[in-house]
Amino acid sequence: MKDKILFVVTSHGELGDSGRKTGYFLSEVTHPWSVLGEKYDIDVVSPQGGRPPVDGFDLNDPINRKFWDSPEWQDQMSATMTPDEVKPEDYKAIFYAGGHGAMFDFPQNKKLAEIAAYIYENGGIVSAVCHGPAGILNIILKDGDNLIKGKTVDSFTNAEEDANGTSKYMPFMLQTALVDKGATFDCTAPFTDHVVVDGRLITGQNPMSALSLGKALFKALENL
C-alpha cells in the first residue's frame, strides 16, 4: 500500500461582500497532485465535505486540463470527506490548498487543526500554499504552543493581496496574522515562485509556487 497525503480544500464560495465567487484555486490542487500522485495516495477533505467550489479555473493550463478531464478525479473531488471522517493516523502529510475561500473557513476549523497537529506530532509534514496557510494559524501542539511560533513561513503576501484588489474583502491579512502568531515571514517579489521549508513545515507564497511546493513536499517525504 502507498503512503497517504491529506489535501485540504475550502468549502467557502463567496469572496466576502464582493458579490464574486471563490473557492479552492484549481492549480494549487492539481500542480502538487501531479508531483505527489505517482507515489502517494491522496485523499481530500473540506470543512463541509462534498463538492467544493473552485476558483482559478484555467483549463489552458495543461495540468489543470488533465485533472479536470479525469472522471476518477472528478468523482473524488465531488465527494470530499468531512473532517470527522478523517483518520489522522493514516497520513504522512497534510497539505492545505489555497484559494480565497480558505481565509473564511480554515482558521476556525478546530477539527482540521487537530488533524494537522496529530500528523505533525507523529513525525509527519504540514504544508500549505498561497491562502492555504490560513489553515496553519491555529494548530496547537501538546505543549500548548502554536505550531508556527518561531517557524519561518510564507503565504500570499499583503502586497499581493493589495495588487490583486482583494484586501478589502478579506476577513484579515494573512501575512500579518502569521507574524502576529509568532512566525517569521519570508517572501519574495509579488507573484513569483517561492517556497519555504522549515523542518517538517513547508509553505509556498502563491499559485506560481504550487508546483515547487509539491516538489518540496515530495522531497521531504522521501527523507522522513
User: What is the percent of the chain with per-residue pLDDT over 70, rounded to a whole number?
Assistant: 100
Active-site residue numbers?
130-131, 160
Say if CB 47 and CB 109 are below 8 A apart: yes
Reported as a single tens digit per residue, the pLDDT across 118-151 is 999 999 999 999 999 999 999 999 999 999 999 9
Mean per-residue pLDDT of the chain: 98
d(CA 35, CA 149): 29
The Cα-based distances of 203 to 19, 52, 155, 196, 212 in angstroms read 29, 22, 7, 5, 10
Closest CA to 56 of 156, 153, 134, 125: 156
H-helix or E-strand spanning residue 72: helix 71-77
Reported as a single tens digit per residue, the pLDDT across 108-120 is 999 999 999 999 9
Specify the pLDDT at position 73.
Answer: 98
Give φ, ψ of 105 to 5 degrees: -130, -5
Specify the pLDDT at position 172.
Answer: 98
Reported as a single tens digit per residue, the pLDDT across 15-66 is 999 999 999 999 999 999 999 999 999 999 999 999 999 999 999 999 999 9
Residue 202 has pLDDT above 90, yes or no: yes
Looking up cell 517569521, which residue turns up?
A: 184
Specify the pLDDT at position 155.
Answer: 99
Residue 1 has pLDDT above 90, yes or no: no
Closest CA to 205 of 219, 187, 183: 187
Task: Classify 155 as helix, strand or coil.
Answer: coil
Q: What would you report as the CA-atom Rg of the chain, rounded to the nearest whole angstrom?
A: 16
Residue 67 has pLDDT above 90, yes or no: yes
Specify the pLDDT at position 45.
Answer: 99
Task: Classify 58 as helix, strand or coil.
Answer: coil
Q: Please tell me whether the overall predicted TM-score, pTM, comes out greater than 0.95 for this model.
A: yes
Say if CB 158 and CB 173 are below 8 A apart: yes
d(CA 28, CA 128): 9
